[in-house]
A and B are shown apart, each in its own frame.
Chain A
Amino acid sequence: MAVCIAVIAKENYPLYIRSVPTQGELKFHYTVHTSLDVVEEKISGVGKALADQRELYLGLLYPTEDYKVYGYVTNSKVKFVIVVDSSNASLRDNEIRSMFRKLHNSFTDVMCNPFYNPGDPIQSKAFDSIVSAMMVQAC
């Protein structure tokens, strides 16, 4: 279960960020922000290889003592970042991948909406619901 989920646009500003409110959200925002550097590093590392050769799932970006950060990049350079609690029984890679896939699908649905202007913050309720389903249930 994720603790924080963020969607970052190509220009590296957040389109959507949501975290479990129990903890300081600022901390998560900061974490996501720093993870962007790692993302950039990973996607620029491919270099000559074209985008389609690059895999979308970036994997574990970096771990800290409390949590782990996973990244995923779409072909349009929209980044998804998931922060997962380390104490949580470590989620398998598959599960993280599936979470990203769901995120990507929901994001695509949001994009399909003609009333959504790309670059606007995502306010779709459907997207919210999907993200909520992924988040840790705040007890």
Chain B
Amino acid sequence: MESLTLSDVEQKYYSELFLSCDVDNTKKVASNGKVLDLFRAAQLSNEVVLQITELCGATRLGHFGRSQFYIALKLIALAQSGMPLRVETLNSVRDLPLPRFVMGKNEQEPRHAVMFADAENQGHYFPRPPLRVQAKKVSAHEMIQPCVPTADPQPDTTSPVVSPHQSPPTSPHAWRKHKRQASGGNVDRQPSVPGVVWPSFREAQPGPVTGDGMWSAHSPPPVQETWVSFTDTPPSSTLPMHPPSAQPESTTVRTGMSAMITNEIQRQTSGYDDPWKITDEQRQYYINQFKTIQPDLTGLIPGSAAKEFFTKSKLPILELSHIWELSDFDKDGALTLDEFCAAFHLVVARKNGYDLPEKLPESLMPKLIDLDDSAGVPEPATEVSFSASPVEVTPNKSPSMPSLNQNWPELNQNNEQWETFSERSSSSQTLTQFDSNIAPADPDTAIVHPVPIRMTPSKIHMQEMELKRTGSDHTHPTSPLMANPPELSDETKLAASIKFPGTSVGDGYSSSDSFTSDQEPISSAVNRQRSHSGTSPEGLKVVAPPPPPPRPHASHSRSSSLDMNRNFAAVPAGSQQPGVVAFPPAVPPRPLPTQTSVPHGHRSVEGDGLPAHTSTSPHQMPEQPNFADFSQFQAFAVDQPEDDEENPSDSGQAERCPEAAGTMRTTKNDVQAEERNATTVNSAKVSTPLAPPPKPVRRRLKSEDELRPDVEDLPQKSNVIATVLATQPSIPRSIGKDKKAIQASIRRNKETNTVLARLNSELQQQLKDLLEERISLEVQLEQLRPFSHL
């Protein structure tokens, strides 16, 4: 036999054919029967077949050796192309097309469309088998048991198994060409399946798909290689990939596949639906594989383990790297179950010759919601990923990255948002809680600011009270007060704080007897108001810091006259007199206080009221003692000590006492005669707050007389109240006078203080000097003394 030169394509093709005929697996001889079948499939007339067999020398040998087989094949090609069968022409014909064989019953689908495609003259022998797709597809399912080549015991380099390594580069071409041709959705020529095909599998093929005319004349040799039809259901969907082990699984898969055949045939014309969808069997298989690496299905496979696993698939590292980039959604260097399935699926697809997509197909994206969702789910899933989990944001970033090219600034912005979003994900929970319910109930105050919410036990208590309060009538804040005597102080405080910024200040005063409501911070008022307005109790989280302790509040010019407050305080605290509310914070005129101070002084003598009042209404203190002083003077003209007792704190007032006392003393005699007129003068006094000193003195004298009878104090007190009420408008001036006097005394005190301080420092200095002199003298003395001891 002359040597036969075959092109690479031919070489491959022929070797495959040879193997297909090599039923006995001798690798040397093709069985006659098979070969004859093959030849007949070439659709050549019998005599031509006989001629060929004779030419190739098989008749001589009695069997088809490899070389004979190859020659025969070439002759067949010659014959099919219409050339005369001459042995000499075998090598001379350069561009001989490959022989074509039409399959008979067996559905041995031609496999290497790729190879055909690569051949320059691919146009020749691609009569499109339009319907072949289905069958091919179907058989593809069964045929394609791509086992990892490592497991495949086909070391023969010329075996079709080798092609996986070679065909991947070629498959893209074929595939793309097919895609171009398959405008109608029917892929004319399926891309080759570089996947390993087991010869044994061929026999086990179920019949259903059989050729029934789907095979055009052009069908490639009946090799067991199957086509992976890539129409609507990609073969990948039917490729359960079996790593080394599972033969029995393959059978089960096969049988399972046959059931799906009809389905897929029907779906064939739907076009590129979802080529990457993972079927249930595949998924189950992937899950099993996952378990072998990581028993916990919710756990992660570390990158190194995944690397080892996928390296077994013998794909080039570059492709594995690309698959990893596609499937590692969250870019964490580890694979979840979904990611693993996606990666596995991509590997399977790649092994079968499919191009890796640029971005992860939607059906392979890790399902955020459910594993078994349809293709529709990934859409919302990806959207959900944006809003729900920061981790999922980044995977959307990468697939969509290629599309975002023009809008660089926008891309920047988006990415930064994404990035910051992911960064901030953990910190978002640490934002401090702010009470968003800021709208104040009372629009007058309009103090709107976020108030930090804080819960303390005391505040919880107050909260409860506020809750009770909100239930009660707003207009009668007193009722809850009455209802909760123990919390009276707080309640009244609340009432006061609520009312304080409001219109009724008097109420605040009425209830402020026992405490300093005006010390409440405004915010508490706001909060109280909020609660007061009936906002949800939940909003009543704690509020104000505890009110500061009462402290002297000298600035309250309009603070109620001590008399009034004391009068009201005398009234039982529980009872709220509506009339009290009406009282402005007026201070009675000086004369009045002097009058009323008599009873006050009286009371102060008793020693009960004053301390209480001083504690509760500090702003009244400066004035009280004044009046008390005067009253003291009136009552006890010379009784200074008592004044001091009443006014331990205010030395300035003590100063004034002497002055007043002096004036009083001087005028005392003068007004003795006018005592009788004191009552009338009193009323007149009221109207003229700027009474000259003698007049007050006169009144004081008069009240002195009145003081004596204690019984008269009380009625006078009522008179005082009346007079006070009448003289409200004129009161401020006298108050101002007092205030000025106080301020003057304070200034004087300060001056004396500074003078004394200076004096003190000077004296201290002198003392130091003197001490030093003394020390020096003592030293001298001691120096001299030893001589004396001699």
Query: Which chain B residue has the least Cβ–Cβ distance from A99?
Result: B412
A125 with B322, Cβ < 8 A, contacts A1-B408, A101-B419, A114-B306 known: yes
Give chain B residues whose Cβ lies under 8 Å from the Cβ of A115.
307, 310, 317, 320-321, 324
Taking the closest CB of chain B, its distance from the CB of A132, in whole angstroms, is: 7
Task: Verify B318–A126 contact, CB threshold 8 A.
Answer: no
Q: In the bound complex, do residue A124 and residue B322 qualify as a contact, i.e. CB atoms below 8 Å apart? A: yes
Q: Does B548 contact A (CB under 8 A)?
A: no
CB pair A109–B324 under 8 Å, yes or no, is no
Segment 366-420 of B: residues with Cβ below 8 Å from A: 398, 401-402, 404-406, 408-409, 411-412, 415-416, 419
**Residue contact A124 to B325, C-beta cutoff 8 Å:** yes
Q: How far is the CA of A75 from the CA of B313 in the complex (A)?
A: 35
Q: Using Cβ atoms and an 8 Å threshold, which residues of chain B touch A1?
A: 408
- B326: nearest chain-A partner, CB-CB: A126
Asked if B331 CB lies within 8 Å of chain A CBs, one says yes
Q: Within the complex, what minimum Cβ distance (angstroms) separates B265 from chain A?
A: 35
* Most chain B C-beta atoms within 10 Å of own C-beta, residue among A110, A125, A134, A137: A125
- Asked if B328 is at the interface (CB within 8 A of a chain A CB), the reply is yes
Most buried by B among A105, A109, A113: A113
Q: Tell me the complex Cα distance, A75–B411, Å.
A: 26
Complex CA distance for A112 and B327, rounded to whole angstroms: 12
Within the complex, what minimum Cβ distance (angstroms) separates A109 from chain B? 5
- A33 CB to nearest B CB, Å: 27
The answer to whether residues A113 and B324 also contact, given A98-B415, A126-B398, A133-B411 and a CB cut-off of 8 A, is yes
A59 to chain B: closest CB distance in Å?
Answer: 18
Contact between B401 and A109, CB atoms less than 8 A apart = no
Residues in B whose Cβ lies below 8 Å from that of A133: 401-402, 404-405, 408, 411
Judge if A12 is at the interface, Cβ distance under 8 Å. no
A99 shortest CB reach to chain B, Å? 8
Bound Cα distance from A129 to B402, whole angstroms = 6
Q: Is the CB of A105 within 8 A of B419?
A: yes
Q: Quick one: closest A residue to B321, CB to CB?
A: A115
- Asked if B303 is an interface residue, CB under 8 A from chain A, the answer is yes
Compute how far the CA of A126 lies from the CA of B329 in the bound complex, rounded to whole angstroms: 12
Interface pair B307/A125, CB less than 8 Å apart: no
Q: Which residue of A108, A109, A124, A137 has the most chain B CB atoms within 10 A of its CB atom?
A: A109
> Do A114 and B402 touch (CB < 8 A)?
no
A114 touching B409 by the CB < 8 A rule? no
Interface string of B46-84 (1 = CB under 8 A from A): 000000000000000000000000000000000000000
| Complex Cα–Cα for A86 and B412 (A) | 21
By beta carbon, the residue of chain A nearest B322 is A125
**A91-123 to B contact mask, C-beta < 8 Å, 1/0:** 000010011011001001110111110000001
In the complex, the chain A residue whose C-beta lies closest to that of B356 is: A125
**Complex Cα–Cα for A110 and B322 (A):** 10
Known: A109-B331, A112-B331, A114-B303. A98 touches B405 (CB 8 A): no
For chain B, give the interface size range: 20 to 34
Q: Which residues of the other chain, A, contact B328 by a CB distance below 8 angstroms? A: 112-113
Q: Are B321 and A123 in contact (CB under 8 A)?
A: yes
List the A side residues contacting B401 at CB < 8 Å.
126, 129-130, 133
Q: Tell me which of B321, B328, B398, B406 has the highest count of chain A C-beta atoms within 10 A of its own C-beta.
A: B321
Instruction: Pick from A102, A123, A129: contact of B318, CB below 8 A.
Output: A123
Query: B325, A95: Cβ atoms under 8 Å?
Result: no
Q: Are A114 and B324 in contact (CB under 8 A)?
A: yes
Q: Roughly how many angstroms separate A133 CA and B307 CA in the complex, as a whole number?
A: 29
**Chain A residues near B408 (CB-CB < 8 A):** 1, 95, 133-134
The chain B residue sitting closest to A135, CB to CB, is B405
If over half of A's interface residues share one DSSP class (helix, strand or loop), that class is named, otherwise mixed; here it is helix
Whether, in the assembled complex, B772 has its beta carbon less than 8 Å from a beta carbon of chain A, the answer is no
Residue of B nearest to A130 (CB): B401
Give the shortest distance, in Å, between B22 (CB) and chain A (any CB).
38
Complex Cα distance, B331 from A124, in Å, reads 14
- Inter-chain CA distance A101–B417, complex, in Å, is 13
B324 touches A98 (CB 8 A): no
Contacts of A124 in B (CB 8 A): 321-322, 325
The reply on B304 being an interface residue by CB < 8 A is yes
- Shortest C-beta distance, A101 to chain B (Å), equals 7
- Tell me whether A113 and B325 are in contact in the complex, defined as CB-CB below 8 angstroms, given that A98-B416, A133-B404, A134-B408 are known contacts: yes
Which of A110, A126, A137 has most chain B Cβ within 10 Å?
Answer: A126
CB distance from B108 to the nearest CB of A (A): 37
Roughly how many angstroms separate A110 CA and B416 CA in the complex, as a whole number? 19
Tell yes or no: B203 within 8 A of A by CB: no
Beta-carbon contact of A109 and B398 below 8 Å: yes
B249 interface contact, C-beta 8 A: no
Contacts of B405 in A (CB 8 A): 132-133, 137
Q: How far apart are the CA atoms of A17 and B686 in the complex, in Å?
A: 100
**Known A112-B331, A126-B401, A133-B404; contact A98-B412, beta-carbon cutoff 8 A:** yes
In the complex the two chains form, what is the Cα distance from A40 to B324 in whole Å?
34
Which of chain B's residues have a CB closer than 8 A to the CB of A112? 303, 328, 331-333
**Does B358 sit at the interface, judged by CB under 8 A?**
yes
Is the pair B412, A95 in contact by a Cβ cutoff of 8 Å?
yes
Q: How far is the CB of B621 from chain A (nearest CB, A)?
A: 61
List chain A residues, Cβ under 8 A from B304. Answer: 114
- Give A1's nearest chain B residue, CB to CB: B408
Minimal beta-carbon separation of A129 from chain B (angstroms): 4
Q: In the complex the two chains form, what is the Cα distance from A73 to B210 in whole Å? A: 64
* A-facing residues in B306-349 (Cβ within 8 Å): 306-307, 310, 317-318, 320-322, 324-325, 328, 331-333
Alpha-carbon distance A72/B639, docked complex (angstroms) = 90
Asked if A109 contacts B325 (CB within 8 A), the reply is yes
Task: Please tell me if the beta carbons of B415 and A102 are within 8 angstroms of each other in the complex.
Answer: yes
Closest chain-A Cβ to B208's Cβ sits at a distance in Å of 41
In the complex, what distance in Å separates the CA atom of A100 from the CA atom of B321? 23
Residues of A within 8 A of B322 (CB): 124-125
Interchain CB contact under 8 A, A95 and B402: no
Residues in B285-313 with C-beta less than 8 Å from chain A: 303-304, 306-307, 310
Cross-chain contact A125 with B358 (CB below 8 angstroms): yes
Residues of B within 8 A of A95 (CB): 408-409, 412
Residues of A within 8 A of B321 (CB): 113, 115-116, 123-124
How far is A130 from B411 in the complex, measured between Cα atoms in Å? 11
- Which residues in B have their C-beta under 8 angstroms from that of A102? 412, 415
- State the Cβ distance, B313 to closest chain A Cβ, in Å: 12
By a CB distance below 8 angstroms, the chain B residues around A132 are 402, 405
The distance in angstroms between the C-alpha atoms of A112 and B333, with both chains bound, is: 5
Identify the closest chain B residue to A114 (Cβ).
B303
Complex formed: what's the CA distance from A130 to B402 in Å? Answer: 7
**A114, B325: Cβ atoms under 8 Å?**
no
Residue of B nearest to A101 (CB): B419
Within B23-60, the residues touching A (CB, 8 Å) are none
Bound complex: CA of A121 vs CA of B304, how far in Å?
A: 20
* Contact residues, B413-470 vs A (CB, 8 A): 415-416, 419
The smallest C-beta distance from A58 to any residue of chain B, in angstroms, reads 19
- A114 near B333: Cβ-Cβ < 8 Å: yes
* Distance (whole angstroms) from the CB of A133 to the closest CB of chain B: 5
Q: How far is the CA of A126 from the CA of B307 in the complex (A)?
A: 19
Least Cβ–Cβ distance between A126 and chain B, in angstroms: 5
- B411: A residues at CB distance < 8 A: 133
Interchain CA distance A113-B416 in the complex, whole Å: 23
Question: In the complex, A116→B332 CA distance in Å?
Answer: 14
Name B302's closest neighbour in chain A (CB-CB): A114
9 closest A-B pairs by CB: A114-B303, A115-B321, A114-B307, A112-B333, A129-B402, A98-B412, A133-B405, A115-B320, A113-B324
Q: List 21 A-B contacts (CB under 8 A).
A: A95-B408, A95-B409, A98-B416, A101-B415, A102-B412, A109-B331, A109-B398, A112-B303, A112-B331, A112-B333, A113-B321, A113-B325, A113-B333, A114-B333, A115-B310, A115-B317, A124-B325, A129-B401, A129-B402, A133-B402, A133-B411
6 further A-B pairs in the complex, CB-CB below 8 A; given A110-B325, A114-B324:
A1-B408, A95-B408, A95-B409, A113-B303, A116-B321, A124-B322
